[in-house]
Amino acid sequence: MSATRFTKDHEWVRQEGDLVVIGITDYAQSQLGDVVYVELPELGRKVAQGKEAAVVESAKAASEVYAPVSGEVVAVNDAIVEDPAKVNADAMGEGWFLKLRFADPKELDALMDQAAYDAFVAEHR
């Protein structure tokens, strides 16, 4: 399994073979509060890096989830649609949102690693 990368919008992406798994960070879910609704894209949908890929709603706010990389949606996590609290319980694991067959592996290079993301969060608190 390769390293997890992060965006400034608090999404994470992890490469698994020719696919990537995408979700929101633990920091993002903690800022949202209790997640009450998740809207995921249809299978086969093409998403572009930096564009909306999903929606997450909490008691506090609704937020777009942006695609960290471009690609085609090949799987969605129906478990978080049925039980949105999974996003709060395990944002970086069972609370994943979607999997993409990504178009350009070089897009991962522009994203932050764990240390850079931790520093980014610390300076924006």
CATH number for position 74: 2.40.50.100
**Does a structural domain hold residue 125?**
no
124 within domain boundaries: no
Please state the domain count of the chain: 1
**CA pair distance 53, 67, nearest whole angstrom:** 5
Please answer whether residues 36 and 78 qualify as being in contact, where contact means their C-beta atoms are separated by less than 8 angstroms.
no
> What is the residue range of 72's domain?
4-103+111-118
Residue 33, both tokens: 């509060």
29 within a domain of the structure (yes/no): yes
Average pLDDT per 10 consecutive residues for the chain, totaling 125 residues: 87 94 97 96 97 95 96 98 97 97 92 97 89
Contact assessment for residue 106 and residue 69, using Cβ atoms and an 8 Å cutoff: no
pTM of the model: 0.95
Assigned domain for 123 exists: no
pLDDT value at position 76?
Answer: 98
61-84: per-residue pLDDT in tens? 899 999 999 999 999 999 999 999
